[in-house]
Chains A and B, each alone.
Chain A
Amino acid sequence: GENVEQHPSTLSVQEGDSAVIKCTYSDSASNYFPWYKQELGKGPQLIIDIRSNVGEKKDQRIAVTLNKTAKHFSLHITETQPEDSAVYFCAVRSARQLTFGSGTQLTVLP
């Protein structure tokens, strides 16, 4: 089955700095790569996604890049704010299922 690795597991940045979270996957046939944000005590919320025919996608302060050859994709958050503090999960769609990374606890320090 699909194997998704996510790094780092924890990340602290100063407010206003950028944050980058990386994921690698194993199945070259994977075709969809979403990112979820989970705030404490809540369900994960989709924040951005990218399909395999696109290399980069941006939505205001967040962006996702995909390198299909190397089988890795990354979440970039610029101008971080305290409300960006949360756990972020990457996921990969393979064989009609989503496989999730282990999560990154992002803390934005004021």
Chain B
Amino acid sequence: SQTIHQWPATLVQPVGSPLSLECTVEGTSNPNLYWYRQAAGRGLQLLFYSVGIGQISSEVPQNLSASRPQDRQFILSSKKLLLSDSGFYLCAWRGRQGVNYGYTFGSGTRLTVV
């Protein structure tokens, strides 16, 4: 069965420090991968999505970047965090076989920038 792993679960970082959040998927190949941010417990904002290795699409210009160095690995990064980067970050995947359009989300990372 397919599983998605996201870590760390919580993170407290000072302003100006770098960020690296990692997401991996098991049990599937060539998935579509997504990074979402959720502020104040509501509203899922799509940040990045990837349809393959090295292919990244950005939905919102901001202080963050994403990379997909391997088929089932998706990384969210920042060189210098801002206070406004605080939030709940969610990774998700979707298979591309058949007609299964549903997204499966990871358990999320709570980022607090202080």
Residues in A lying within 8 Å of B, measured CB to CB: 32, 34, 36, 40-46, 49, 51, 87, 89, 91, 93, 97-98, 100, 102-103
Bound Cα distance from A103 to B6, whole angstroms: 23
Contacts of A89 in B (CB 8 A): 44
Q: Are A97 and B49 in contact (CB under 8 A)?
A: yes
B105 contacts which of A32, A40, A43, A51 (Cβ < 8 Å)?
A43
Contact B41 A87 (CB under 8 A): yes
A contact patch SS: strand
Complex Cα–Cα for A49 and B11 (A): 33
For A100, list chain B residues within 8 Å (CB): 43-44
In the bound assembly, the distance between CA atoms of A97 and B46 in angstroms comes to 10
User: Whole-angstrom distance from the CB of A49 to the nearest CB of chain B?
Assistant: 6
Task: Tell me, in angstroms, the Cα distance from A87 to B103 when the chains sit together.
Answer: 17
Quick one: given A97-B49, A102-B43, are A41 and B102 in contact (CB under 8 Å)?
no
Note all chain B residues with C-beta closer than 8 A to A97. 46, 49
